[in-house]
Chains A and B, each alone.
Chain A
């Protein structure tokens, strides 16, 4: 199989998934998509992407399994503690001025970022007047996110991150450990709406004060990245905040001018008052 064959088959597979199931990976960055599909080929025991395509089209259960290779991977709670510290110190004081708050975690995967923000907002006394929209395209990871259950082995890393984010309590206040798993407090979920939403095909659904979308845009090509940033821009209220990944940038987006750098090192942007 030549590289060219692989590229052709990749495009056919992506088109087939779109035509049959309306999951749109056509705007995903090629390099990481190729790597993920090579890993998936090993998992499914197929020699070519055409074989995988055959299975995906004829067995919907294969698509469900394949989505886990194609969608945004799990993150850590409080990944990049300095980002959360900066939200606390620089963004929360402004969020306090709103009578009610809406926050959008786009591409939430298995929910680590969602619970991190919920815990932070509770610690700052804001959670009770906030709705957090947690969205992803993968129903299986959304379900995991909604369950709020994580492998106990990961929790010591989460705890350390949380501490370094300027926490006001120990992370253990927010979960109970059971059979090697950490089950996060149900009350955190009372203000979270988990929902299916595609940055590639869906539109804006609410006006929000904060969008947190970190290490999701890296999986998109420039056009799709631009679409997503456009959605964030349209969704944010005037002077609303956008947090992106530490190595992501708005420099290559046509919507870049709609934002000003708010905390440069943490990639926190603020939507301009007037455009």
Chain B
């Protein structure tokens, strides 16, 4: 199957990153068209004490709706959800948002693995998992789960990442479908299927 045909079935995109993540996301998220069918979920490791400014930061850069994930909220297409600091972000049946304050995973809360594994469970082959720059091994098991459920997996080329640890750990665990530069990932995200008509309004 070609990447194009794989891409056309995507209903969920999960992104995991830590060190250098804000810059990487600043390249990727503005590439999303406002009327895409998929929902996008982001785990970025952040210090827990600071209120997250990600929504404010990206709201102005993006054409899609951007919000912080709220527990039990039904997942809307064409929306970017950020994991709140100090909570795990999971996708539950529905699909809907589920948060948890369970123990740290890979020294992290939110953890990339927790998001990816739960999203793989719900979206199966309709999920695209992407591991970006990061100084942690978090996400390797999660991306493996995405692949096992039949989803598409991409790792930002570690040679081009600000911090290569996260990508290398993911690639070592299981060869991803694609290893791409940031601009190439942005191009791919820019061609996700669009709903054509309805443009979901920006939240908040």
Residues of A within 8 A of B (CB): 3, 29-32, 34-36, 73, 75, 215, 217-219, 222, 225, 245-249, 251-252
A247 touching B103, Cβ below 8 Å: no
B121 touching A34, Cβ below 8 Å: yes
A247 touching B69, Cβ below 8 Å: yes
Question: Contacts A75-B101, A218-B98, A247-B84 given: A31-B72 contact, CB under 8 Å?
Answer: no
Contact pick for B87, options A36, A225, A247, CB 8 Å: A247
Task: Write the nearest CB–CB distance from A271 to chain B, whole angstroms.
Answer: 21
B71 touching A32, Cβ below 8 Å: no
CA distance A30 to B117 in the complex (A): 13
Point out the residues of chain A lying under 8 angstroms from B92, CB to CB: 29-31
B87 touching A35, Cβ below 8 Å: no
Contact pick for B90, options A3, A35, A222, A252, CB 8 Å: A35
Point out the residues of chain A lying under 8 angstroms from B99, CB to CB: 218, 247-248
A217 touching B102, Cβ below 8 Å: no
Task: Write the nearest CB–CB distance from A205 to chain B, whole angstroms.
Answer: 26
CA distance A35 to B68 in the complex (A): 22
Point out the residues of chain A lying under 8 angstroms from B101, CB to CB: 73, 75, 215, 218, 245
Point out the residues of chain B lying under 8 angstroms from A34, CB to CB: 118, 121
Name B53-97 residues within 8 Å CB distance of A.
68-73, 84, 87-88, 90-93
A31 touching B98, Cβ below 8 Å: yes
Point out the residues of chain A lying under 8 angstroms from B72, CB to CB: 222, 225, 249, 252
Point out the residues of chain A lying under 8 angstroms from B87, CB to CB: 218, 247
B106 at the interface (CB under 8 A from A): no
Question: Contacts A29-B92, A247-B69, A247-B71 given: A35-B103 contact, CB under 8 Å?
Answer: no
